[in-house]
């Protein structure tokens, strides 16, 4: 088992600005927001805030993870998550390996366990994994002594995206408690929706899921969300709307009559915004299908913080990489 030593926080301004709130991080892995406490989520946010300053320096690099090796183990395509985990690890001075399953010996039949154990044998410290199977990151914690970060597992969780969305809401609105957050679209296939729900509920927001009955089953009420199929009614009192992509690649049957019908009922257009609060915050985790869930002028309009989510992703991922490494010896979850 690999023994890790805690590295010092690189930003003195972080300590001056409120430090760690007296909280000690103990988790060697980040697998989902369902597992995290409110205090753990707030500690990630404090750490991310302290890392934001590093990205404003002319030399955007600190030695916090010097000598550590981070492996991006991606079995699904990605633009934002993969790039920002790579950049986050590099800003902390870690060495980064980008593993793409499509160009690896996985295509020759090598198992996930063997893939992980072979890469671990080269002396790596952290696996950042995206996988089409829910639970794959949890399984890897049982195959390796390295730290494991879930970068999206099937339809289960995407914890860093959930953290980014909630962090961006808190930055823009100044609080989470009591806010009405509406999440629209393909909820049933969405790991982002699930991670948002777990995190937002813990921090005291009211979450409403909206979409076609085929994509937003009433069963989500048992997880703590309000469920409705009337977007205009849900938007009337909304402080935040998070628009999700229709994940055609995960669908096995036609779940709504046509794209035109979907846009009419669930697309966010300038016309639809007329019935909402003027300060409605618009989010989207990306990638956007412009003209489907979001009209282009809304995606790029004054209420949108979509690119701010991407910028915040870097600080959140720096914080998560830093914290799991602080947790010392990697042990099973």
For ligand CP, the binding residues (CB under 6 A) are 78-82, 152, 158, 161, 285-287
Q: CB nearer to ligand CP: give 159 or 286.
A: 286
CB of 295 to ligand CP, least distance (A): 20
Q: CB nearer to ligand CP: give 69 or 310.
A: 310
CB of 286 to ligand CP, least distance (A): 5
Q: CB nearer to ligand CP: give 47 or 309.
A: 309
For residues 92 and 116, the answer to whether their CB atoms sit within 8 Å is: no
CB of 302 to ligand CP, least distance (A): 22
SS3 (DSSP) at 282: strand
Q: What are phi and psi of 312, to 5 degrees?
A: -65, -25
By the 10 Å C-beta count (0-12 exposed, 13-18 middle, 19+ buried), 108 is classed as exposed
Q: CB nearer to ligand CP: give 287 or 332.
A: 287
The CA distance from 229 to 284, in Å, is 19
Q: CB nearer to ligand CP: give 160 or 201.
A: 160
The residue written with tokens 């934002």 in the block is 80
CB of 133 to ligand CP, least distance (A): 16
CB of 290 to ligand CP, least distance (A): 15
CA nearest to 126, candidates 106, 142, 146, 105? 146
Please count the other Cβ atoms lying within 10 Å of the Cβ belonging to residue 106.
16
CB of 151 to ligand CP, least distance (A): 7
The CA distance from 18 to 35, in Å, is 25
Q: CB nearer to ligand CP: give 241 or 327.
A: 241
| Tokens representing residue 270 in the block | 């300038």
């Amino acid at each position: 088992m690999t023994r890790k030593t805690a590295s010092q926080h690189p930003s003195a301004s972080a300590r001056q600005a409120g430090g760690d709130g007296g909280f000690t991080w103990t988790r060697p892995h980040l697998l989902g927001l369902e597992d995290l406490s409110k205090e753990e989520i707030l500690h990630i946010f404090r750490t991310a805030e302290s890392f934001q300053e590093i990205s404003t320096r002319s030399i955007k690099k600190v030695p916090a993870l010097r000598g550590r090796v981070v492996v991006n183990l991606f079995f699904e395509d990605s633009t934002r998550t993969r790039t920002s985990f790579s950049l986050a690890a590099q800003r902390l001075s870690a060495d980064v390996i980008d593993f793409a399953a499509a160009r690896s010996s996985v295509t020759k039949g090598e198992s996930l366990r063997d893939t992980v154990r072979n890469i671990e044998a080269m002396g790596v410290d952290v696996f950042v994994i995206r996988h089409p199977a829910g639970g794959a990151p949890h399984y890897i914690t049982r195959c390796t002594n390295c730290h494991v970060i879930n970068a999206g597992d099937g339809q289960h969780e995407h914890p860093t995206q959930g953290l980014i969305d909630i962090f961006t809401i808190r930055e823009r609105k100044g609080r989470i408690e009591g806010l009405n957050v509406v999440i629209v679209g393909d909820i049933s296939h969405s790991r982002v929706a699930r991670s948002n729900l777990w995190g937002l509920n813990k921090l005291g927001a009211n979450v409403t899921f909206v979409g076609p009955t085929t994509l937003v089953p009433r069963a989500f009420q048992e997880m703590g969300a309000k469920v409705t199929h009337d977007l205009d009614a849900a938007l009337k009192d909304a402080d935040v709307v998070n628009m999700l992509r229709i994940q055609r690649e995960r669908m096995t049957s036609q779940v709504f009559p046509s794209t035109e019908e979907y846009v009419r009922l669930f697309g966010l257009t300038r016309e639809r915004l007329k019935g909402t609060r003027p300060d409605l915050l618009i989010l989207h985790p990306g990638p956007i299908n412009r003209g489907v869930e979001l009209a282009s002028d809304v995606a790029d309009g004054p209420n949108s913080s979509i690119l701010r989510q991407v910028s915040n992703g870097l600080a959140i991922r720096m914080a998560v990489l830093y914290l799991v490494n602080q947790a010392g010896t990697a042990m099973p979850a």
